[in-house]
A and B are shown apart, each in its own frame.
Chain A
Amino acid sequence: MTAADVTSDSNLAALRPPASNAGFSHRSRSRALRNLVARVVMWLAFLIALVPLVWILWSVVTKGGALLLNSTWWTNSQRGITDRMVGGGAAHAIEGTLIEALATAVMAVPIGVMTAIYLVEYGRGRLANIVSFMVDILTGIPSIVAALFIYAVWVTTFGFQRVGFAVCLALVLLMIPVIVRSTEEMLKLVHNDLREASYALGVPKWKTIARVVVPTAFSGIITGILLGLARIMGETAPLLILGPYTKDIATDIFGGLVPTLPTMINQDRTEVLQPAVDRVWGAAMTLILIILLLNIAGRLVSRLGAPKT
């Protein structure tokens, strides 16, 4: 609770001496005016910030919402559907998006969590500083550069096919720093008394971390992972150059093209044929919904099990 909560402007005005002096009252009026202007400006800033949000959500819902009410949208793929046909669904892209995110998480989460454990529980000295610095660098890598790197290694150097797994590799680069930073925060929040109590009972350090520290911070770590997932699901740049689209259900990330919602949008984003346009916005809305759900899940988890320190 801040002071401003308790003391409103009107209370303050009442505390001030009555404005008997003409010069003071003049100055006071200009101060009050400035105060009022500032208040109006802040409200305006907030309202202006809401404009794009409402506008974007309105566009997406009105242009793409209708398709989502159709049950085939959630169960069918786009196989056999051309831009001039109505029908089909986004099941292939939804599945692809989830599978790629899951595969990315399987790779990124252990590395990220263990790195965070290293930094918080073990890290001292030069190596820890370097690791921390490298995580900062990873945070700053633009997604297109990560994609370019994987493309250069995977396709140009090794001559492999562009498959879903290559996309996952690029996404791993983007997800690791998110996981490290959020896990690190959560581990730091675990009270030292817990660790010390454990040591005092003769529990070895690794067991203390695995059985006391990590479980205490567990919900926070999960939240971080869910938010990291939400982040990479909306990521399109690596998909542009590594993940060609297919209209079919394809879940084998090593075997070929895996369709995702961002590539589904990208594929037809310039189309004018109404069925295709509807599907583009429908896919956009689906993607936003999934990301939102993950965010809400993340918040719920963190609220349910916030570490009691």
Chain B
Amino acid sequence: MKIQSRRRIANVTGVALVGTLALAGCGSNNNTTATSSGSSSTSASSTGCATGTLSGEGSTAQKNAIDQAITDYQTTCPGATVNYNGTGSGAGVKQFTAGQVAFGGSDSALKSVPVAGATVTEQAAADKACGSPAWDIPMVTGPIAVVYNVKGVSKLILTPAVSAKIFNGVITTWNDPAIAAINPGVTLPATAIKVFFRSDSSGTTENFTKYLAAAAPTAWTAASGKTWTGKGEGKQASSGVSNAVKATDGGITYTEWSYAKDDQLAMAQIDNGGGPVELTAPAVSQALSLAKQAGTGNNIILKLDYTTKAPGAYPILLVTYEIACSKGKDAAKAKLLQSFLKSFASSGEQAKLVTIGYAPLPANIQGQVNTAIAALS
């Protein structure tokens, strides 16, 4: 009978709908058994918890760090939820300015001079979005590794000039005399060099091109900025370029130490003139001690010395910031942000991040950061 079959179908549909709704209510956020082992050393307990949901977006350089910080914070404060999407520093600044996120992650501080073509500075736009001054708060340092994948080459030294020529396409093969000259004793194959760059608007790109422009001004003539101006092929996010190098013989790129470690990629030693320096935690903190505070008040901007010739100092660094409103529009969210950042900046958390490829902030900066976080409201 037609009508019967119709009824049967209606029942089937009904069951399906109810099933969907029932399922929609039964998921669990409780992953404590999985997380407890990894978060025993958290010192966030002293921070005081806040509750609610907070969203941030931006830099992929700090994604590994902030993921860890979020996990630890949420373990201590189960009532809080912090989301972070790694979409690139450019997106972080833009979404923050557009009021889409409560904090932006960026590897370069908000600019107070207009970028080419823009009429409003980043700082002014962010201040306007906040209704109060927007602050750059440095959270963690992510050294930029120059990683490569060349069969049979496990040790490689690069000078700024040679790096620049590789990344702007002047040097195209691995056995180029310029590379051979600074790598005596290394057998370099005739493989073509495949340069990978960040196709998204990226703070890593900005810091790396700043380094090239500062340390090799004659070889790197292109402007430095979040958009890549050299040669090569583009991939999204730090993990994207790292993964591409891993999969490509002859590949080279610039990426955060954390990703280089995760991908187990070979990292070039950088010779700024004071001898080749391997990327290690002490080499990073030595270079970091040369950084200067260039911001005013609680807006903390670190100026890095890319041209340092100090022996044993690794020169290619980036400092990754959280951009936040000094006076949040939503009081509850501002409180949560403050509480989360406090936990992120705590010495216990910072020490933990070293194991996954980040460097803690220098002690003098750390104090200023804590002051700034305390002043958030």
Contacts and interface: CB of A to CB of B under 8 A. Distances in A.
Interface of A: 72, 75-89, 91-92, 94-95, 98-99, 102, 155, 159, 161-162, 215-216, 218-219, 222, 244-251, 256-257, 267-268, 270-273, 297, 300-301, 304-305, 308
B38 interface: yes
A270 B100 contact: no
A79 B28 CA distance: 9
Contacts of A98: 20, 23-24
B34 A88 contact: yes
Contacts of A219: 5-6, 9
Interface in B17-51: 20, 23-24, 26-35, 38
A256 B53 contact: yes
A103 B24 CA distance: 13
Chain B interface helix/strand/loop/mixed: helix
Contacts of B356: 84
Interface stretch (B156-164, B203-211, B235-243, B274-282): B235-243
Interface stretch (B66-74, B177-185, B358-366): B66-74
State which size class the interface on B falls in: 35 or more
Contacts of B70: 80
A301 B16 CA distance: 12
Contact of A81 (B3, B35, B81, B263): B35
Nearest to A301: B9
Contacts of B27: 75-77, 89, 91-92, 94-95, 249
A76 B242 contact: no
A9 to B, nearest CB: 42
A84 B16 CA distance: 36
Given A95-B27, A308-B2, A222 B13 contact: yes
Interface of B: 2-3, 5-6, 8-10, 12-13, 16, 20, 23-24, 26-35, 38, 53, 55, 57, 64, 67-68, 70-71, 74-75, 81, 83, 85, 87, 98-100, 235-237, 239-240, 242-243, 246, 262-263, 356
Given A84-B356, A244-B85, A305 B9 contact: yes
Contact of B23 (A86, A94, A256, A300): A94
Contact of B5 (A99, A248, A304): A304
A190 to B, nearest CB: 11
Contacts of A270: 235-237, 239-240, 242-243
A251 to B, nearest CB: 6
Given A83-B67, A244-B87, 6 more contacts: A72-B31, A76-B27, A84-B356, A88-B34, A219-B5, A244-B85
